Structures are given as structure tokens and as C-alpha cells.
Structure 1
Amino acid sequence: MDSNYTRIFIGNIAEAQSIVSRLKDIGIIAVVKDEAESARLAGFGSSMLGEAEVFVHNDELEQAEKVLDS
């Protein structure tokens, strides 16, 4: 299955939110996948507490990588 999104970060939720904020400043809307929060909302537990993934659309990947490098 092909995806139009690429993961650019996996790690601490605080760092992920910082990256999302910096991307938003340049007009990129990122997608955050937080398994622990999803599990909590569904009433389940998770062993991945505090870990999140950040995805961007492939068309914006080059710009997003510049933000990560800075």
C-alpha cells in the first residue's frame, strides 16, 4: 500500500509537538500519531507512553527536512 505521507520523526511527544509547531510556522500541517493517547481514549493501556510519530505529506517533505535540520 502506497502512502502520500512520510514519517519524519519518532520520539518524545514534547519534541514531536515542537516540530509540529515549527512546521506550522512555515505552512506545513503535520500529522501526529500517538499510540498511547489513542489507546487511552479507547480505554486501553499502552507500553509506548510519551512516544509519538510525525508525518508530512510527500509534497512537503523537502521543506520539512530543512526544518528538522535547523
Structure 2
Amino acid sequence: MTDSNFIKIYTGNFAVVNRITIELNALDISPIIKDQSESAILGGFGGTLAPDFQEVFVHKDELDKALPIIENITNELQP
């Protein structure tokens, strides 16, 4: 297994991931979005059991700036 310089900071649906991406970009953080279902479809394997979930990764050096964004957004989503 290779060591990565990126850390997963969120897993959720497209709408929330899109908002997180916008707010991270505003801080000059370029997240990586991993969509397993899209990758499976493009690879010819069909979809996954949770087609609307994506993962957000940021570089380790940007983690401290990114975590408050995730906390604020997830706190707003709480009922």
C-alpha cells in the first residue's frame, strides 16, 4: 500500500460535496472528489449500492484550513 499525501475529510451526497468544494476553493484549497459510482460506470462495471455518495480529499498541508469548513457545514445540516 502506498502512502498518500491526501486525507479524506468528508463522505456524503453530491449537494453537500458541491458546497464543500465551493467553500474550499474560496480558501484556495483544491479538493479531490472521488465518486465510486461514476468510476464504476465509466469502467463498465455498473453502479454501486450508494450511487449518490462522494468522498472529499485534501492535501495534508491544507487539513487545518479545511476542517473548520467541514465542521461548519455538517453542524448546519444537523436538525
Tell me the TM-score normalised to structure 2 length.
0.81
Percent pairwise identity:
40
Shift >2 Å, 4+ stretches: none
Distance 2:34 2:17 in 1: 10
User: Unpaired segments of 5 or more residues in structure 1?
Assistant: none
**Which of 45, 48, 51 is equivalent to 2:50?**
48
User: Separation in 2 of the partners of 1:11 and 1:5?
Assistant: 18
Larger Rg computed on CA atoms: 2
Letter in 1 for 2:21: V
Write the deviation string for residues 21-53 of structure 1: whole angstroms up to 9, x where unpaired.
110011000000000011111222122200100
Structure 2 CA distance for aligned equivalents of residues 54 and 38 of structure 1: 15
Coordinate RMSD, CA, aligned: 1.1
Match of 2:68 in 1: 66
Deviates more, 1:38-47 or 1:24-33: 38-47
Gaps of 5+ in 2: 73-79
